[in-house]
Structure 1
Amino acid sequence: MKASAVSLLAGLLFGAGLTVSGMADPMRVRAFLDLFGAWDPTLAFVMAGALMPMALAWRVQQRMPKPIACEAFDLPGTGLLDAKLILGAILFGIGWGIGGLCPGPALADLAIAPLEAGIFVVAMLAGMTAHRIITQ
């Protein structure tokens, strides 16, 4: 129960951050990606602003014997770049550029613009399903 409450709180905070920062606005994302047109650098400042709290979080995590709401940390390992990672990054970038959304903002936008975000979410779920079928 405690882990679920912490997860819910983290998700609400993340969604609020996406909305306040403008990252849930597909037009702002497209303007950020338009380097040779009407470029809007505000999302660069949002990303740069996220570096300091994340660096602090990593330092705090290194000093903690265990997480607050779980028995142990479950951190991903590091690995070399492989074809699957590169292809996934390319597909993510193409989807982000075309749709102006990535998974987090798309889910947040379901409450703001359900039709537009819904199309993206359906396509995202289809891609996730295709990945699961192909990689089995």
Structure 2
Amino acid sequence: MKHLASSIAALVLGFIFGLGLIVSGMVDPANVKRFLDVTGQTYGAWRPQLLAVLGAGMMVTTMIYLVAKRRKHPLVEAGFHWPHATAIDRQLTVGSALFGAGWALAGYCPGPALVAVGSFSSDAVIFVVAMAAGGFLQHFLQHQLAAH
């Protein structure tokens, strides 16, 4: 029963998240590029509206995090899956830089790209395939380096 409840919760929350990305314009790479181009010289007038999206996302995440930290266990899972790594290391820094560069160049980050795939956008499909390939490559290389 817990597995079913967990799956239903994931489906409902994922739907709400995706709907929020669509309504906010985050799935449109042109909006994201105009937001990131603060000078307005490359993609047209700067679009500061996405600051509200980022701010709202941070507020909701912070509130949920603070509530979750007080609970012994989640509502529909056996336990929380908190991250174990806390160090700011080369892997985190390089990964963050690649994430930001990919977002700036393509206008997609993973969440909005997955939502945009639902609209059969060829750019989004290409982005998601490349993102998955990069993830598999990173996983493979990490295991290769650990073996040596």
Say whether the fold is shared (TM-score over 0.5): yes
* Amino acid of the structure 1 residue aligned with 2:25: G
- For residues 1-136 of structure 1, what are the structure 2 equivalents within 5 Å? 1-37=4-40, 38-77=45-84, 79-136=86-143
- Secondary structure of 1:66 counterpart: coil
Aligned residue number for residue 146 of structure 2: none
Q: Which has the larger radius of gyration?
A: 2
Q: How far apart, CA to CA, are the structure 2 residues paired with 1:2 and 1:82?
A: 37
Structure 1: segments with no counterpart, 5+ residues: none
Quickly say closer, same or farther: Cα 1:78–1:92, change in 2 above 3 A.
same
What TM-score, normalized to structure 1? Answer: 0.93
Q: How far apart, CA to CA, are the structure 2 residues paired with 1:84 and 1:59?
A: 27
* Amino acid of the structure 2 residue aligned with 1:18: L
* Amino acid of the structure 1 residue aligned with 2:122: L
* Amino acid of the structure 1 residue aligned with 2:137: A
Q: How far apart, CA to CA, are the structure 2 residues paired with 1:46 and 1:4?
A: 26
Identity level (%): 39
Structure 2: segments with no counterpart, 5+ residues: 144-148
* Amino acid of the structure 1 residue aligned with 2:121: P
Deviations 1:99-129 (A, max 9, x none): 1001111110012243111111111111111
Number of equivalent positions: 136
- Secondary structure of 1:36 counterpart: coil
